[in-house]
Amino acid sequence: MFQLSDNFWKRLHLVSGIFLLLATFCLLVFMAHLEIKDLDLWLHIGLGKYIVQHNFYVPSVDILSCTVAGKPWVNHEWLFQVIVYLIHSNWGVDGLITMQVWLVSLTLLLLVFLGYSRKNQVVTLFALFMVSLVYQSRFTIRPELFSLMFFTLYVVILAFFVHRKWAVGALFVIQVLWANIHGFFFFGPLIVMITIFAEWLKRHVWLPWDWKTVGRLTDKEYHQAKLILGMVIVACFLTPTGIHGAVYPLKVLFQISGDSKIFFSKIIELQKPITRATLFSMADWSYYRILIIMSFLTFVFNRRKIDVGILIFWLFFLVFSLSAIRNMVFFSFAAYLAIVANLTTIRFKDVVPVRFTSQKFLYITAAFAQVLIVLWAMRFYTDVQNNGYFDFDTYERKSEFGGVSQRQYPIKATQFLMKNRVRGNFYNDFNSGAYLVGHCFPNIKVFIDGRTEVYGPDFFKYYEEILGKDDVEKFKGALKRFQITGVFMNTVFSAAPENLLKYLYKSPEWSVVYFDYDGVVFLKDVPLNREVISRNRIDMENWKTTKMDLYRLGSKEVQPYQYSNRAFTLIGFGLDDAAVAQARAALEVNPGSIGSYKVIGKVAAKKKDFKTAYENFRIAVTLNFNDQGSRMNMALALVDLQRFDEAAIQYQKIIDIWPASPKPYIKFAKVEVIRKRYPVAFELLKKGYELDAGSFEDVVAVGDLFSEDKAYDLAEKIYLLIINKDPHFESAYLKLGQVYERTSEREKAVSLLKKGLQKNPESKELKVRLRLLGTPSNQKP
């Protein structure tokens, strides 16, 4: 019987590996052509324009906002800003995408040079493929792309060329560039420090097995590494901001554990990739998790011959990546390095049974595995190549590769500002700030943008209290405090806050001058704006939308989100009939328009037509089972219909799907109080409060229900939960005081109210309550 020789399988193994390498490279280059979606890019372009036009002057204080103007600012990315501005001004968005392609290609080639080995081809290439899939998630044209390239260059030079004289000069130049391009430049000196520290450990500290001898440097290399460290540290100071720029990363790291945690809870890329709830799930960030497992196992199998420098390097970037989603890509590079390093001393017979380690078997298995990975890469490509969406202007499909995203930015609203040369101080949302800076600076000074380190946690909390809580009074205070002459409400991502919209729409001081699916613009009636207002004021009472041409649309499947976006804004204006008309128009385009049913349901609920509200929210849920908002509104409609058992079922489903979301627990607790299931209600409320200790008003409302039902012991526990968390929350003292009065515990009521007055000395209500109890408010408890 004819048998294929070992040499044949060896060649097949090598050829299939080359195909896998080419497939990985082609896939990554293709993904690097992704359309421009990044929000911060436009701020970088705007700043780059300013720097170039002002003879490369890099501002050291904020010049972009009307809220923190003049505040010290370390612009550690100024060189990147100049680069992207010059590319964009000469070659447009295609030039920016080409820049990304080149950076990604060069970085991938460096990774191949660093780790490709015929001996361990299949494992190495699989790891490289996993790295590529993590890497492509960060293709956003940010300075981070340069950081990843510099990061890889550092590792390559220190791994292979540390003994060469030119290594010192090369790393010095790289570090100077890095320090002026991205805040992660501190990785350069850090990598060298890890190299030196690991060598010191090998020379002076007891280490197990062969750890002392693996990866040892010669005396010349050790001396060279120390020289490199000194030079790259000096390079960190060669920036326009000098010492302030050099120590900037350290300041940011120390802030992480303080008030700056608010950024990590509100900004998605700063959230943790793995939490207790998702620890054993492979559903989220699976490629990142695979690299953690793979790299860890190589340390296990290579435990006798571990390079302690690689281990420290791996551990640092593992911890770093667990702190924020955006850091995962750096760990993926570190994991690849660890896998490559450990594979050099791992023997297959130490990993798999002897009977499976014949050379022919290894070649066949490796070739088969590589073909499977190639097929995986091809499947990934076919899944993403057709990604796109409907272009409402051309009635054609827009690919997600190439050009600028039409669904990420308030493009038309911003074009209106540019066309009419609108000037002044603007209130805007966080996601719009960078885009406005890139297109409208210096005519418009923004309220906030993506530079969290400039605005700081206190201002961000202030911003969140206005927008997140839809607080009109604080909004009015901000308008006055910062002399706001324009308001820019972006509705691309989500509906604008209803209370703020209603205030602006009803106020005679403000006029709607732009309204569409991507946003609404209000201008204040001041001399600066009067000409623009006179030309562009919109009479919303008589506003009519242009319907889509259904004949031209034909059978194309379209999600008419533009109608829904406009409808939610109209609800904020109080123009409910116009909102429903938008929803009906959307249903003509696509009867499966989820947003339309949500709009109709919301308007019906406002009109107390809870049956219609329930019916429409139910349809929305059937169209998208993962729409938490529709499920919540469906349950609320059931509560309003007094169908509490059905509402309880819905809330339980919501909690099962989103166990980390606090509101369902608190809403469910209200239902359980009504159903007289007090212990269950208390446990639900406690869980919801633990998840979000800031939702005091909702918690107080449940406490009130307990109090009304005379479940005073549980009401007391709830109010004490709030007081212990926030001793300044006045309402909790008043409510708990009433509980003590109803239970004839006057002394406890007096003592509590006096304690509350100490925390809130200006509270008139606490003083009145104490007087009613016949106790002077100035008497100590």
Nearest to 576 by CA among 599, 560, 598: 599
Q: What are phi and psi of 642, to 5 degrees?
A: 60, 30
What pLDDT was estimated at residue 781?
44
Locate the DSSP E strands across 325-374.
Answer: none
Is residue 22 classed as helix, strand or coil in its secondary structure?
helix
* pLDDT attached to residue 775: 65
Q: What is the pLDDT of residue 698?
A: 80
SS3 state at 75: coil
Is 270 within 8 Å of 327 (Cβ atoms)?
no
* Helix (H), strand (E) at residue 373: helix 359-385
Closest by CA position to 105, among listed 18, 28, 19: 28
> Are 586 and 571 in contact, with CB atoms under 8 Å apart?
no
3-state class (DSSP) for residue 705: helix
Residues 6+ apart with CB under 8 A from 595: 560, 561, 563, 564, 565, 567, 568, 583, 586
Tell me, what's the pLDDT at 771? 86
Residue 396: in which H helix or E strand, if any? strand 396-399
Q: Which of 265, 266, 295, 256 is nearest to 134 (CA)?
A: 295
User: Of 88, 97, 96, 95, nearest to 34 (Cα)?
Assistant: 97
Look at residue 181 in the predicted model and tell me its pLDDT: 97
Token pair of 602, please? Answer: 């919301």
CA angle (587 as vertex; 586, 593 as ends), nearest 5: 85
DSSP designation for 347: -
- Residues 699-753 pLDDT 10s: 888 888 888 999 999 989 888 888 888 888 888 888 888 999 899 898 888 888 8
Q: Which residues contact 699 (CB under 8 A, 6 or more apart)?
A: 666, 685, 688, 689, 718, 721, 722
Q: What is the pLDDT of residues 350-365, one digit of tens each?
A: 666 655 556 777 788 8
- Give the model's pLDDT for residue 357: 57
The per-residue b/e assignment along 336-350, b for 16 or more CB within 10 angstroms, e otherwise, is bbbbbbbbebbeeee
- What per-residue confidence (pLDDT) applies to 424? 98
pLDDT at 693: 57
Residues 6+ apart with CB under 8 A from 625: none
Tokens of 319: 């911890």
Tokens of residue 745, six digits: 């515990």
Pairwise CA distance, residues 710 & 704, whole Å: 10
Q: Determine the pLDDT at residue 141.
A: 95
Residues 387-442: tens digit of each pLDDT: 999 999 999 999 999 999 999 999 999 999 999 999 999 999 999 999 999 999 99
Bridge partners of residue 66, in order along the sequence: none
Residue labelled with tokens 């209130």: 427
Question: In whole angstroms, what is the distance from residue 766 CA to residue 734 CA?
Answer: 7
Cα separation, 448 vs 768, in Å, equals: 41
* Element (DSSP H or E) covering residue 222: helix 219-235
Question: Residue 415 CB: number of other CB atoms within 10 A?
Answer: 13
Positions in the chain whose pLDDT score sits under 70: 1-4, 253-260, 348-358, 693-695, 775-781
C-alpha triplet 32, 408, 278: angle, nearest 5°: 75
